Amino acid sequence: MDRTASIGRLVNLVVPGGGLILVGSELLGVIVGLLFAATAGFALAATLLIPADVPATWRGLGIGVAIGTYLGAQIRFAQTLRERGAQASAERRRAALRAARSALLEGRVEAAWDSLAPLRDEFESDLVLAYRAAQVLTARGDGSAALVAWRRVRRLDRHRVYRREVLENEQALSSANALCGEDRVSEAQDA
């Protein structure tokens, strides 16, 4: 979609509505294109072909509406790209969570971790991703990283949905890490 979006931007600058058609919003693109063609046609005719027959107020209004339609087409194109990007991102997130959950249920811990890997940047702000990552790290037996992950879940879980599970895992991991001498996780990471 990146290449199509880049080409669509250029097309939309030259033919307002054309970019929308290229990225898959055909009906909206046709409507925007027709609206721009009508307003631009009126503005050109009123200004260049028959200026004596069209009052100055109407010419100014025609030019203003044509410019507004052009700018509106550019704004609508950008909004469409943002909406599609957000939808694609949400679908990638859902697919990764489904794959990780399925892999965990089947006991394929590394496959679960690989499913979440593309979304690591979002662990700090997404409670569900942080929770699933904590589960996977715990299943992997990575005590220090799992403890950090469960503390992240506790920090993100404002409604305490996972409170009991977080407490159980933090206690178990703290005890296991203390026995192994691996408890290098500082309380500063809680903040």
Q: Where are the domains of the chain?
A: 2-97, 123-190
pLDDT tier for residue 2 given thresholds of 50, 70 and 90: confident
Q: What is the pLDDT of residue 143?
A: 85
pLDDT at 57 over 50: yes
Q: What is the pTM of this model?
A: 0.70
The number of C-alpha atoms within 13 Å of 191 and in the hemisphere containing its C-beta is 3
Q: Which residue has the higher pLDDT, 176 or 149?
A: 149
With the C-alpha atoms ordered 166, 172, 176, 179, is the resulting torsion angle positive or negative? positive
pLDDT tier for residue 190 given thresholds of 50, 70 and 90: very low
Give CA–CA dist 112/135, Å, rounded: 10
Residue-averaged pLDDT of the chain: 89
For 108-159, write each residue's pLDDT tens digit: 999 999 999 999 999 999 999 999 999 999 999 888 899 999 999 999 999 9
DSSP strands (E only) in the chain = none
pLDDT tier for residue 1 given thresholds of 50, 70 and 90: low
Give CA–CA dist 88/55, Å, rounded: 49
For 13-46, write each residue's pLDDT tens digit: 999 999 999 998 999 999 999 999 999 999 999 9
Q: What is the pLDDT of residue 116?
A: 95
